[in-house]
Chain A
């Protein structure tokens, strides 16, 4: 699916990890204006960030996170060539994962 974009930037020995995920993040209370039908809930529930295979951040979220969610973290250290893996799972069981190598 490739819904995840990852950007990293090394700043003073730290590494900023930013990610942008394309996802509707519907909370299930919106009405489709064309059909007058409620739009079913569809949002990311869990997000996992790994650094060289080790989980460094794990997030549980609700639909109060904006559409196309954005997250930024700051890693202490981090070397060029290190691997950052970000994956998500939504309430419908869909999932995606993306790898990124720190430059």
Chain B
């Protein structure tokens, strides 16, 4: 009886110590996680595999924006050639006159991976982005702009004479 109580007493502090140690480290972990999340820069586009998966356009849009409503807007300008001789290099410039734009996504409807690029822009930048796209075949190029909680889109058809995906 005495022996049992003694072991009981002996074991207890160990357990308590371990328990405390574990709870402290767990607390530290969650603290680090929370502060890490808080510190993460607002202008940071994280690369997510599901956004760049081989999907149909509709599925990619669903992954990107859930079921949010996308309004067509004439305040987004897409400068892109209407006929691209070489689908491997199609220059595109996107400008917008919308206010508070945080994010610009460029999609090519008929490419195996429709999402080409997503740009998170800080307010220090003008709403103007240029790049060059690969296009597998004649397709619509769709630009989706996120301003606050609203989504706006514009599209432009590009006729491709030589596809950009074959070696």
Contacts and interface: CB of A to CB of B under 8 A. Distances in A.
Interface of A: 14, 25, 27, 29-33, 39, 45-46, 48, 51, 54-67, 69-77
Where chain A touches its partner, the secondary structure class is: strand
Nearest to A30: B167
B91 to A, nearest CB: 8
A60 B131 CA distance: 13
25 contacts: A32-B167, A55-B43, A56-B122, A56-B125, A57-B121, A57-B122, A58-B41, A58-B119, A60-B45, A60-B46, A61-B116, A62-B115, A62-B116, A64-B115, A64-B116, A65-B134, A66-B131, A66-B133, A67-B134, A70-B131, A72-B129, A72-B131, A73-B129, A75-B125, A76-B126
Contacts, number: 124
Contacts of B129: 71-73
A9 B128 CA distance: 15
A27 B121 CA distance: 25
Interface range on chain B: under 10, 10 to 19, 20 to 34, or 35 or more? 35 or more
Contacts of B132: 65-66, 69-70
B125 A29 contact: no
B158 interface: no
Interface of B: 41, 43-48, 51-52, 88-91, 93, 108, 111-122, 124-126, 128-135, 164-167
B138 to A, nearest CB: 15
Contacts of A54: 122, 124
Give the top 6 A-B pairs by smallest Cβ distance, nearest first: A72-B130, A64-B116, A74-B126, A61-B117, A66-B132, A45-B47
Contacts of B121: 56-57, 73
Contacts of A39: 167
